[in-house]
Amino acid sequence: MKITQLQAQPDWMLFIVADDGRKGYFDVNPYLRYEAFAALRDPGEFVKIANGGYFVEWECGADLSADTIEAQWRVAGKLPNHECTRIDTNGCKAITRLVDARILDRMEAMAESGSRQIDLCPLVYTRG
């Protein structure tokens, strides 16, 4: 797992977003009993955190690997799956855009139902 977003939260929790879109929380509390993490008992020190991608590191030198975080975190969901998709079925004009996969599903369902045009700003899907 690669960490793409990191934010210190109250009560020694970290909010993390992984490169695959999963998001969740990691509880640092169990680590505070160790000498390497002792400085983090001060909330002012806990927020001094940096994202190294495959690890997180605090200004005091304490760090956790992404593998440790992934093994212990509580996944709270997944960000929408944005991907470049090309639609070219049932006589529809091909379009390529960055779109949410849920929008594509809706567009295809509406096209199958016979809708001539589907306006989903900023996308316009027109049957050929």
Q: Domain-by-domain residue ranges, the chain?
A: 3-78, 82-126
Is residue 65 pLDDT above 90, yes or no?
Answer: yes
Is residue 4 pLDDT above 90, yes or no?
Answer: yes
pLDDT of amino acid 88: 39
Residue 125 burial (CB < 10 Å; 0-12/13-18/19+)? buried
Cβ–Cβ < 8 Å for 23, 17: yes
Task: Return the C-alpha torsion angle 22, 24, 30, 33, nearest 10.
Answer: 90
Please name which of 122, 20, 31 lies closest in space to residue 72, comparing C-alpha atoms. 31
CATH topology of domain 3-78: NE0471 N-terminal domain-like (3.30.2020)
Residue-wise pLDDT for 7-17, tens only, equals: 999 999 999 99
Q: Which residue has the higher pLDDT, 82 or 7?
A: 7
pTM of the model: 0.61
Cα(125)–Cα(87) distance, integer angstroms: 9
